[in-house]
Amino acid sequence: MLFKEFAEFCSVIEKISSTLELAARIAAFIKGIEDDNDLYNVVLFLMGKVYPPWDERELGVGVGLIYEALRVATGTNRSKIEELIKETGDLGIAAEKLLQTKTQLTLFEEELTVAKVREVFDTMSSLTGEGSQKRKIRLLADLYFSATPIEARYLTRLILSEMRLGVGEGIVRDAIARAWGIEEALVERAYMITNDFGKVAVVAKNEGKEGLEKMKIELHVPVRMMLAQVAESIDQAIREMSRVAVEWKFDGTRVQVHWGNGKVTIYSRRLENVTRALPEIVEEIKSNVKEGVILDGEVVAMKEGRPMPFQHILRRFRRKYEVSKMMEKIPIHAQFFDILYCDGKEVIDLPLEERRKLLESVVRSSDRIWVAKQVVTSDAAVIEQVYNEALNAGHEGAMLKNPKSPYIPGKRGKHWLKLKPVMETLDLVVIGGEWGEGKRSHVISSYEIACLDPTTGKLLPVGKVATGFTDEELEEFTELFRPLIEYEEGKKIVLQPKYVFEVAYQEIQKSPKYESGYALRFPRFVRLREDKDVGEADTIDRVARLYESQFKGKKT
Ligand code: ATP
């Protein structure tokens, strides 16, 4: 398939705002793709992805490299490129305009295909070490050289993972369902266990409904994790579940462990492969857990008998390659609370109480890994006791689970309730910022934050957060965000969305000032949620619900 066809399709759907129409158009488009590889690539590309989240490969192309490649490909100097970006506010459009000046030159170039773009991306992501930046610039410049202006627009956006098409997971799911006449729920399930819409689309096309039904959890392919809702009260949990399985809500970080075919792979909550950051857990699993399982649990860092702040574990994730030094500094252990796969079979449809038995039979406790303690009860006083024990031990609270419930990948539902003392914070995507004044002029001192519309994938601003940061954090974040700066306008910065901040606030107000329609009053930075992806940020629905709940509280 020609990349031009893909780019032209993108330019058509970019103007469509109705989600129904978008899904219908995408359905018709993908249905017409004959080649499996083209279909795979197009589905991922439409979502602004080159690889599924769990694939360790990444392009490693930042904004700076794009500037360079455009300079090489078009012979335009850097200040002109920067000017154009400021003028358009969009790197994709800027690239398109730059290419318009050289169209005649490209008439004799070979036309770009989707397969060629994929091939170049794969080559780029395999390059490491010395000289790799230069080669990437060359490869990218060559792509721009063969690209037409419209292709350059979407090529750039694809590299930045920002297609601006309003195509989120929900729309892709509906489009696949519609294209091959399959129930949405079935497409959704296949996605939750493979985390790869490209693969789901190919199976749907070739094998239809039966093919999707046959898709099973596989070792070393991560499964979306089951999540929890906030418990209204202990009584509500007892009313709904009658018997409640109570566990501590550990203050650590979620891990999914795959142990089979001689190797251990550990995935984070955002389904990144973090095996290398946890060598001591890997060893412990190999010697104490029966091979051929997928376990769900939490890694906790301890110091003097208490959990260390969450940030310390995540720091290890970030520096996955400097692990041995960190190992001595941060002693960690893992507690497992669920099992998804055992002896070559998925076990997610078994009720929790049976999965628990299975879990206990495959894990031999050691001083680094064990099965999380669980109490099953209908007595509110017992639940309260476990909850207080957890808080006294420095953990977050308690999880209340339905012993009869299956494990539903990716689901945030009533089977798992979390009981926590603090006011609800919001996890919001950082989309922009502003340089500080005076002494702070070298750091980004305020950040624009946005919630997510999960259907369209759009990020809707809800305010700016400028308090709650230590000076150290401001310095650290400035370095973290610097490579993500798309362009600047005076003190204002537009950032490529990549990180999520947890933000506290005093109140949510309605506001026409922001696209979301809401504004946070007195927002305060709590922490960087390195374990959360942009796609896992809080949604506009949650903001709306929290807004409404403020009034409920007042009335009573
Ligand atoms: P939070 O900020 O409260 O952790 P979240 O959005 O990250 O919220 P939730 O679905 O609300 O995630 O809560 C589930 C999280 O709690 C899990 O992802 C896991 O990291 C953590 N957790 C700690 N102990 C447990 C447990 N016993 N069972 C399940 N999850 C647990």
Looking up residue 109, the CATH number of its domain turns out to be: 1.10.3260.10
pLDDT in single tens digits along all 556 residues of the chain: 999 999 999 999 999 989 999 999 999 999 999 999 999 999 999 999 999 988 889 898 988 899 999 999 998 988 888 889 888 888 999 999 999 876 545 555 679 999 999 999 999 999 988 899 999 999 999 999 999 999 999 999 999 998 999 899 999 999 999 999 999 999 999 999 999 999 999 999 999 999 999 999 999 999 999 999 988 889 989 999 999 999 999 989 999 999 999 999 999 998 988 898 888 899 999 999 999 999 999 999 887 778 887 666 766 666 655 656 655 667 889 999 999 999 999 999 999 999 999 999 999 999 999 999 999 999 999 999 999 899 888 898 999 999 999 999 998 899 999 998 756 899 999 999 999 998 889 999 999 999 999 888 899 999 999 988 988 999 999 999 999 999 898 999 999 999 999 998 878 999 999 999 999 988 889 999 988 889 899 999 999 988 887 775 443 2
Question: Do 410 and 434 lie in a common domain?
Answer: no
Answer yes or no: is the C-beta of 538 below 6 A from any ligand 1 atom.
Answer: no
Please work out whether the CB of residue 337 comes within 6 Å of at least one atom of ligand 1: yes
Q: Is residue 143 part of a domain?
A: yes
Residue 370 and residue 290 share a domain: yes
Pick the atom of ligand 1 nearest to 249's CA.
24
Using the 3D structure, point to which of 386, 419, 452 is the last residue of a domain.
Answer: 419
Q: Residue 281 domain-assigned?
A: yes
Q: Counting beta carbons within 10 angstroms of the beta carbon of residue 69, is it exposed (0 to 12), middle (13 to 18) or buried (19 or more)? A: buried
Please state, in angstroms and as integers, the Cα–Cα distance from residue 31 to each residue in 19, 150, 243, 350, 514, following that order.
18, 23, 47, 36, 37
| Pair 146, 244 in one domain | no
188 C-beta closer than 6 A to ligand 1: no
Distance 250 CA to ligand 1 centre (A): 8
Report the binding-site residues for ATP. Answer: 247, 254, 269, 298, 337, 412, 418
Cα–Cα distance between 43 and 47 in angstroms, integer? 7
Residues 153 and 256 in one domain: no
What pTM was computed for the model?
0.79
For residue 373, the enclosing domain spans 227-419
Provide the number of structural domains found in the chain: 3
Residue nearest to atom 31 of ligand 1 (CA): 249
Q: Calculate how far, in angstroms, residue 418's C-alpha sits from the geometric centre of ligand 1.
A: 8
Residue 510 known to be catalytic: no
Q: Which residues, 6+ apart, have CB-to-CB distance to 10 below 8 Å?
A: 46, 154, 163, 165
Residues 467 and 382 in one domain: no
Q: Is 299 in the pocket of ligand 1 (CB under 6 A)?
A: no
CATH number at residue 347: 3.30.470.30
Ligand 1 atom, smallest distance to 225 CA: 18
Site to substitute for ligand 1 among 249, 338, 376, most atoms within 8 A of C-beta: 249
Q: Whose CA is nearest to atom 25 of ligand 1?
A: 249
> What is the number of the ligand 1 atom nearest to the C-alpha of 251?
23
Query: Which of 159, 176, 195 is the C-terminal boundary of a domain?
Result: 159
Q: What is the ipTM of this complex?
A: 0.95
Q: Which atom of ligand 1 is nearest to the CA of 412?
A: 10
Of 498, 500, 495, the closest CA to residue 537 belongs to: 500
430 and 415 housed in the same domain? no
**Residue 196 included in any domain:** no
* 249 CA from centroid of ligand 1 (Å): 7
The DSSP bridge pattern shows strands 332-342 and 369-371 to be parallel
Task: Verify whether ligand 1 is closer than 6 Å to residue 249 (CB atom).
Answer: yes
Q: Which atom of ligand 1 is nearest to the CA of 420?
A: 3
Q: How far is the CA of 248 from the centre of ligand 1 (A)?
A: 10
Q: Are residues 270 and 298 in the same domain?
A: yes
Q: Is residue 191 part of a domain?
A: no
Residue 528 domain flag: yes
Last residue of a domain, one of 126, 159, 192: 159
User: Is residue 83 located within the same domain as residue 137?
Assistant: yes
The CATH code of the domain that includes 488 is 2.40.50.140
Q: Is residue 306 domain-shared with residue 366, that is, in the same domain?
A: yes
Residue nearest to atom 8 of ligand 1 (CA): 228
Catalytic-role residue among 249, 411, 458, 532? 249
The encoded tokens of residue 161 equal 């993972």
In-domain check, residue 43: yes
Q: Is the CB of 38 under 6 A from ligand 1?
A: no
- In this structure, the answer to whether residues 277 and 403 fall within a common structural domain is yes
Q: Both 377 and 452 in a single domain?
A: no
Question: Would the CB of 298 count as within 6 Å of ligand 1?
Answer: yes
57: in domain: yes
> 528: helix, coil or strand?
strand
CB atoms within 10 A of CB 57: 13
Same domain for 515 and 433 = yes
